[in-house]
Structure 1
């Protein structure tokens, strides 16, 4: 109850200095917010912001298709989150009839679909995952150009999940593109060397200590065509002899079963690459459901926990690198940031596919009467998009 009182979206009575104040809680199907007279900002002419008197958020039931239909019918003033990239053509074709415009805001950093290895997976599959060359080989086995062309409509940049150029932690072009080429021959050779060329079962699948390796991938269709990308990757891994099982689940089950250490690979986006020391869980074993190793993260808190799994030394070292950063002077902190991403990519703790695209919450639909919405803005969950488009300055034309 105390925590709820501290959240403005669950406690409308909490005083705030944000542009709008909630009139009711986010738990209701229609949520409204009213202009806050205590908001701290004014425009260059001295007019109090925000311009809009209120905002209404309506829960769309029935999946992302319903949101797209509402947009095409002209029933949405502004929406970006869960407007899917594969609906871009349909939305563009309906612009004139629906009296709206479609723009794209590319993501700020990272990879817009990424494959996170569970470094705390038990059993033979987990043992294989903890072999660096095994992970590296699986990166080379992927045809990213095919995924970019079909699932990303040709948009974005093939890359690993690192910050974008110009960021003080950007590790360089050589690291951003490391092992992003499609090279199944080298992948096969690396797997032969790492596991043994003859380490196969009766059906020809690769094994570790005589037990079949099964890369169970969990994916949800929460954003974009992630399940389609997962299927492409699954087929690529099977083409080099690694049995793969792609599981498309609900978002809730996706995370619940990851936290219980059941999956070998998690599909999500790496959208925290620009926030190296403030958002750690996708790169190191910290927090419930850490993308790097959920069992390891639990083991660090409670070694006797139900799903705890002893951390590999390299996982602990990676966490310690992240923890050192905030206390360092900026020059040393930036050097450490670069070293963290270099370490992650060289060891292939996760696999980036395509980034800097509008795949995740970057297809923006706005009514033509809504003005001052920028054609492009920073797009990233840690940036709380669409706040990067300065909605306090939006207004409706008469």
Structure 2
């Protein structure tokens, strides 16, 4: 079966009109003095035309600076997330994929993928973007031992088989496997995408296969790097957006005049998208990231110091922000999140301690932990009853949703929880705390990344109900890197983090969140690492239910019909609901989004999700623009 994804016929008409479209005012002087080509020469043929009608957007005007608040210098990567220029991108609403940077793509049986680039597409420095950039990545980066010691990205390997990569012509490349790779296209549309290309013209002078040895040695010395590979890897990170010299395909590019507290991003004059009138996007000239302490960001947002903000805001900031609207010109909107669970507990089935590991692998214990949590209380106290209570699973808006998946073993039932714990043989000590088989008290440490006071508040509520079941809960915060490394090594018993990333899954969405797949899954990191590395690290799965989940993933991957994929998905969700591998708490939490009154084309209601969604990215911030809006007068106080 061959699927074709083509641009609408009207796009050619728009491209014809683009030649006479207005020049961007902030670029007019550069065009006039010849340092920048005119618009018709900067746009690809055809450009990607954004359908404003289906997205509920209005035509905008050029200019302005959009201010945002970030907490760390490495948050520059959020500009890549929000810019959301991808080879293929998700469409909001139905989250279907469409050609974005690509002019079109063709898929044959999820095994053969043919990509066609837009004619005259250029990097942000004006250099042509061609099939050579794909070849360079595949042959000279992904398969170069010095740059990629572990080989190509795992997503490009199907049962260990790398794709057959072909350059068909200057604008066409093809990737082929003998087995289906349904995860391939979605990986290109992620918030943190798989990059199949690199700006070869920029990186070749830093590559030993292309550079003059003496010139390269001087570059390495000047950059104070160990060798040429370290230099190349440092300068080559399209996602981080931290190298002003690295050409990009995003709507904005980072500039070199950054400080530790302020980063500036200027428009990409060669960006490939246009509005329905053929005018090049983005509308907004520049974006500023001001860096502040995470704890101060809600207050600064409430003081009008940002034009668009959701990052570092949480639902408990909403009341304060709404009150501040009377004094400052912004609106606070509530977007629904779409994780399988906004917050979940992850018993570590690969825990190093044998007594705890044995307990976590007993389904009765996992069920008891879940039954001894009062999710209704959490929802009412923390989220004012506006969230969904239940397991870490798909949400009601997903076509895969069944109420039983959400509620099984998720009701508050202390009697049943105690009955299960008694059945396991966990007797109570004199202080009422149960004892492990080796006599130690059942004191369960739940570890956090220390980034959310809400996690601490929720764990305090769980502490009280678990205590009634004879389990004493302690919390241990740590920095994120330490937090993850402790989990990976098996030192952590239980961790708290967000649940499945995509609660809106369909039969064609990868079920990887619910099966052993990667080390990043906190409930079975060593099993995931074993799979991720092809058995070179981690530990082989030795639990029947988890083995079945892994088999079902392959069944889903290789299935050629929707019915077969759906059947695999259903069994995966059934096993997860019954086995309680993760303990979901609440989902569908509302996310405050602060929007300046003058900022147009930002949705009133939307889904706020990392993947799919890229938070603001799927709504295309390059189409946001500044108009006029009533100015709010500050209150007397």
TM-score range (shorter-chain normalised) is 0.7 to 0.9
Residue correspondence of structure 1 range 266-345 to structure 2 within 5 A: 266-274=495-503, 278=510, 280=512, 283-298=514-529, 301=533, 311-329=542-560, 330-345=562-577
Alignment root-mean-square deviation, CA: 2.7
Give, in angstroms, the shift of residue 310 of structure 1: 6.7
Give, in angstroms, the shift of residue 169 of structure 1: 3.4
Q: Who is 1:178 aligned against?
A: 408
1:209 aligns with 2:440: no
Question: Residues 330-356 of structure 1, C-alpha deviation per residue, up to 9 Å, x if partnerless?
Answer: 331222122212211110001111111
Give, in angstroms, the shift of residue 66 of structure 1: 0.7
1:41 aligns with 2:269: no
Q: Secondary structure at the match of 2:574?
A: helix
Q: CA distance change for structure 1 residues 87 and 119 in 2, over 3 Å: closer, same or farther?
A: same
TM-score by length of 1: 0.88
Residue correspondence of structure 1 range 155-234 to structure 2 within 5 A: 155-170=386-401, 172-193=402-423, 195-196=424-425, 199-212=427-440, 213-223=442-452, 225-234=454-463
Q: Are the counterparts in 1 of residues 448 and 478 from structure 2 also a CA contact under 8 Å?
A: yes
Q: CA distance change for structure 1 residues 77 and 231 in 2, over 3 Å: closer, same or farther?
A: same
Residue of 20, 33, 51 corresponding to 2:283: 51
Q: Secondary structure at the match of 1:244?
A: strand
Q: Who is 1:66 aligned against?
A: 296
Aligned residue pairs total 388
Residue of 301, 306, 310 corresponding to 1:80: 310
Residue of 330, 338, 346 corresponding to 2:578: 346
Give, in angstroms, the shift of residue 241 of structure 1: 0.9
Residue of 256, 260, 266 corresponding to 2:489: 260
TM-score by length of 2: 0.57
Q: Who is 2:372 aligned against?
A: 141
Q: Who is 2:119 aligned against?
A: none
Question: Residues 158-182 of structure 1, C-alpha deviation per residue, up to 9 Å, x if partnerless?
Answer: 1211122342433x11211222221
Q: Are the counterparts in 2 of residues 272 and 279 from structure 1 also a CA contact under 8 Å?
A: no
Q: Secondary structure at the match of 2:337?
A: coil
Q: Which moved more, 1:318-327 or 1:382-391?
A: 318-327
Q: Which moved more, 1:174-183 or 1:12-21?
A: 12-21
Q: Who is 1:151 aligned against?
A: 382
Q: Are the counterparts in 1 of residues 511 and 569 from structure 2 also a CA contact under 8 Å?
A: no
Q: CA distance change for structure 1 residues 338 and 3 in 2, over 3 Å: closer, same or farther?
A: farther
Give, in angstroms, the shift of residue 30 of structure 1: 2.2
Give, in angstroms, the shift of residue 40 of structure 1: 2.4
Give, in angstroms, the shift of residue 254 of structure 1: 2.2
Residue of 625, 629, 632 corresponding to 1:395: 625
Give, in angstroms, the shift of residue 49 of structure 1: 1.7
Q: Secondary structure at the match of 2:274?
A: coil
Q: CA distance change for structure 1 residues 66 and 108 in 2, over 3 Å: closer, same or farther?
A: same
1:381 aligns with 2:610: yes
Give, in angstroms, the shift of residue 289 of structure 1: 4.0
Q: Are the counterparts in 2 of residues 117 and 350 from structure 1 also a CA contact under 8 Å?
A: yes
Unmatched runs of 5 consecutive residues or more in structure 2: 1-229, 629-637
Q: Who is 2:253 aligned against?
A: 21
Q: Distance in 1 between matches of 2:286 and 2:542?
A: 49
Q: Are the counterparts in 2 of residues 19 and 49 from structure 1 also a CA contact under 8 Å?
A: yes
Give, in angstroms, the shift of residue 253 of structure 1: 2.9
Unmatched runs of 5 consecutive residues or more in structure 1: none
Give, in angstroms, the shift of residue 312 of structure 1: 2.9
Give, in angstroms, the shift of residue 298 of structure 1: 4.3
Q: CA distance change for structure 1 residues 322 and 211 in 2, over 3 Å: closer, same or farther?
A: farther
Q: CA distance change for structure 1 residues 56 and 318 in 2, over 3 Å: closer, same or farther?
A: same
Q: Are the counterparts in 1 of residues 375 and 390 from structure 2 also a CA contact under 8 Å?
A: no
1:237 aligns with 2:475: no
Q: Are the counterparts in 1 of residues 338 and 501 from structure 2 also a CA contact under 8 Å?
A: no
Give, in angstroms, the shift of residue 26 of structure 1: 9.3
